[in-house]
Amino acid sequence: MRLVDRRNLTLGLFLIGVAAVYFGVGLGLNMGTSTRMGPGYFPMLLVSLLAFFGLLIILKAVRRHSEEAPSVVGWRGIAVVSLSVVLFGLSVTSLGFLPAVAIAAAVSSFASSETHPAERLALTAVLVVFSWLIFIVGLNLPIPILGSLIVRG
Amino acid sequence: MEIFSNLALGLATASTPENLLYCLLGVSLGTLVGVLPGIGPVATIAMLLPLTFELPADSSIIMLAGIFYGAQYGGSTTAILINLPGESSAVVTVLDGHQMAKQGRAGAALAVAALSSFFAGTVATVLISIFSPPLAAIALKFGSAEYFSLMVLGLIASVALASGSVLNALAMIVLGLLLGLTGQDLYAGTPRFTFGNTELADGLSFVAIAMGLFGLAEIMRNLEVPSDRRPIVKKVTGLILSKADLKAIFWPSVRGTALGSFLGILPGGGAVLSSFAAYSLEKKIAKDPSRFGHGAIEGVAAPESANNAGAQTSFIPMLTLGIPSNSTMALMIGALIIQGINPGPNVMTARPELFWGVIASMWIGNVMLVILNLPLIGLWVRLLSVPYRFLYPAIVVFCCIGVFSISNSTFDLFLTAGFGIAGYVLVRLKCEPAPLIMGLILGPMLEEHLRRAMLYSRGDPSVFITRPISAVLLLIALVALLLVILPTVRATREKAFQDA
């Protein structure tokens, strides 16, 4: 059983998938003529290019197999960091700037397995204070420091 | 001579107290970011882009530019002291710089790096002043067909000169172009690829994407392996160079500057390529090549001057033609767009104080860096002992604040998180994020010029080949692409990047 280069195979399939999605959406756009290009002309051009490249990459994957063993995927880092950004987004309007920063700082610190709870607390506190000083006091960002859920009126 | 009046205007703009302050801020941040591994100038510039909303255009670019070439200085500091290049352009400096440090000549190495960089920065400033006006004058004669071909050349050349799989990079460019088309169509106003989401009507926030792709993805990569490197650094003394040293570094610095200035202008060129090329050149022409890799002072002087020259001259295509030669320049173009300035040859005539102010500020920034770096080395090095697990939450927080401050949009933050994951996945799949960002920023412009060219030629696609300048540009792009695909060149390219 020939080993297929999984990396390139995944990439190629992903690209073709994206091309398919954009193709589907692009069908609803007016193509126009080559003189007066409609909104759909250039995108469809790009979609074909993308699918072409995806195909080439898949061909590359099938022809040459790679012996590389897949290395460790940092799942924890991926999940925790993106989660902290999402949580910031959800909390910054409802809870406000300061709580959002605290949440982002605290949650993201979980991505490293080496941070002690005491360090986490200190880090969060320091970041909240510094962010407040730099962005609210120093730069006057128009973000309410305590959001609508906490402060009424 | 017009140059002097232009530079005078530039110096006047760059020496106002505010701009001096922003320049200082930029180069200090740049040095800091260059010293710290795990965060680079691209991510930092992306993070500070939202803040440039509040600042006048010249101050913004002066500061962002300072970050870029300041990082070249910072990266060499860690390269020399702890064998760890803070920036990819400092990778070559590690070879001989760290060896010099081990031989007790860390001070000399650092001084050489600073001086060669300063020399290169000064020369580059002059070169930019001389070559920008004629270049912009030529570009003003460009029609849409020429612009289209130039952008295609820029995109393809940046792939050809970079490391990594060409096919993957091309795919990333196309992906970026497609993403860049999200939003309202230029002429018809039809919403495209918005999936019914009103937030997307203005397009995808490229700052959000840039922060995800470069900032968050880098953090996720660094967190893959739980390790806390605590570098052991010895005290640094002896920052004065002997006469013999000065003599030894003169010509390598000149050669490095020349090579860096040339390679920096090329799309895809810039600091990294220049430093690699300069090191290889010095080694090849050295009387005793075996010294290289064992503390040859030329091995520090040449790449350091090259990377600084390359970093500064890479501003030329951006400032005169509106074409980014690397992802940093792409972000700078983004900064100009945020300020309401249309990048292109008009910038020089429409906003001369911005144009010449930025150029002059680069020289001023170099002066600041020499003064900053040498005495403050101890401070920068102390920062290295901050464990990464304290650093990255700060980066995450700043990314969040930065993205949100642009349009107060929660959606943008989801975008950042999503592209953070995407960036991580793409790098694992051996795709560079830089071409994607370049495609993203150039997408709308590329389409506009394509449509306009076709409109004027009444639907005749041969206009791109019948107009001479456009034809030449496309030919160069084709040649570059073919050269890179040819097996022999491919092997040399990979070897060049493996050597260091």
pLDDT at B252 over 80: yes
Instruction: Report whether pLDDT(A60) > 80.
Output: yes
Instruction: Provide the 8-state DSSP code for A150.
Output: T
Quick one: pLDDT band at residue B83, thresholds 50, 70, 90?
confident
Residue B92 backbone phi and psi in degrees, to 5: -70, -30
The answer to whether B413 and A89 have CB atoms below 8 angstroms apart is yes
pTM, entire model: 0.81
Q: Which residue of B lies nearest to A39 if distances are taken between CA atoms?
A: B185
Give the closest-approach CA distance of B476 to chain A in angstroms: 20
Chains A, B: CB pairs < 8 Å: 199
For residue A119, pLDDT over 60 is answered with yes
Q: What CA–CA distances, in Å, run from B382 to A36, A146, B481?
A: 61, 36, 45
Q: What pLDDT band is residue B437 in, cutting at 50, 70 and 90?
A: confident
A98 touches chain B (CB under 8 A): no
Which among A93, A127, A139 has CB closest to B54? A139
- B331-345, pLDDT tens digit by residue? 888 888 888 888 888
CA distance A132 to A136: 5
Q: For residue B27, give the nearest of B363, B324, B344 by alpha carbon.
A: B363
Chain A residues whose CB is inside 8 A of the B410 CB are 89-90, 92-93
Q: What is the 3-state secondary structure (H, E, C) of chain B?
A: CHHHHHHHHHHHHHCCHHHHHHHHHHHHHHHHHHHCCCCCHHHHHHHHHHHHHCCCHHHHHHHHHHHHHHHHHHHHHHHHHHCCCCCHHHHHHHHHHHHHHHHHHHHHHHHHHHHHHHHHHHHHHHHHHHHHHHHHHHHHCCCHHHHHHHHHHHHHHHHHHCCCCHHHHHHHHHHHHHHHCCEECCCCCCEECCCCCHHHHHCCCHHHHHHHHHHHHHHHHHCCCCCCCCCCCCCCCCCCCCHHHHHHHHHHHHHHHHHHHHHHHCCCCCHHHHHHHHHHHHHHHCCCHHHCCCCCCHHHHHHHHHHHHHHHHCHHHHHHHCCCCCHHHHHHHHHHHHCCCCCCCHHHHHCHHHHHHHHHHHHHHHHHHHHHHHHHHHHHHHHHCCCHHHHHHHHHHHHHHHHHHHHCCHHHHHHHHHHHHHHHHHHHCCCCHHHHHHHHHHHHHHHHHHHHHHHHCCCCCCHHHHCHHHHHHHHHHHHHHHHHHCHHHHHHHHHHHHHC
pLDDT digits (tens, 9 = 90+) for B267-315: 766 777 788 888 888 888 888 878 887 888 888 899 999 988 988 888 8
The CA distance from A136 to the nearest CA of chain B, in Å, is 11
B485 touches chain A (CB under 8 A): no
Chain A residue numbers with beta carbons less than 8 Å from the beta carbon of B459 are 33-36
Is residue A138 pLDDT above 80, yes or no? Answer: no
The answer to whether B181 faces chain A, any CB pair under 8 Å, is yes
Cβ under 8 Å to A: B residues 376-415: 387-390, 392-394, 396-401, 404-405, 408, 410-414
Q: Mind listing the pLDDT tens digit for each residue in A2-24?
A: 556 788 888 999 999 999 998 98
The answer to whether B87 and B40 have CB atoms below 8 angstroms apart is yes
Give me the pLDDT at residue A1, please.
40
What's the mean per-residue pLDDT of chain A?
83
pLDDT exceeds 80 at position A139: no
Q: From the CA of A151, how many Å to the nearest CA of chain B? A: 19
> How far, in Å, CA of B352 to CA of B358, rounded?
10
Give the C-alpha separation, B326 to B434, whole Å: 7
Cβ–Cβ gap A74/B224 under 8 Å: yes
The answer to whether B384 touches B78, Cβ cutoff 8 Å, is: yes
Tell me: the pLDDT tens digits for B355-381? 899 889 989 999 998 887 777 777 777
* Interchain CB distance below 8 Å, B181 and A49: no
Residue from A125, A78, A15, A43 nearest B180 by CA:
A43
| pLDDT above 70 coverage of chain B, percent | 92
Mean pLDDT of B152-165: 77
What angle (nearest 5°) sits at the alpha carbon of residue B391, between those of residues B305 and A123? 155
Distance from CA of B487 to the nearest CA of A (A): 15
The predicted-structure confidence for B168-184, as pLDDT tens digits, reads as follows 989 999 999 999 988 88
Please state the rounded mean pLDDT for residues B419-435: 88
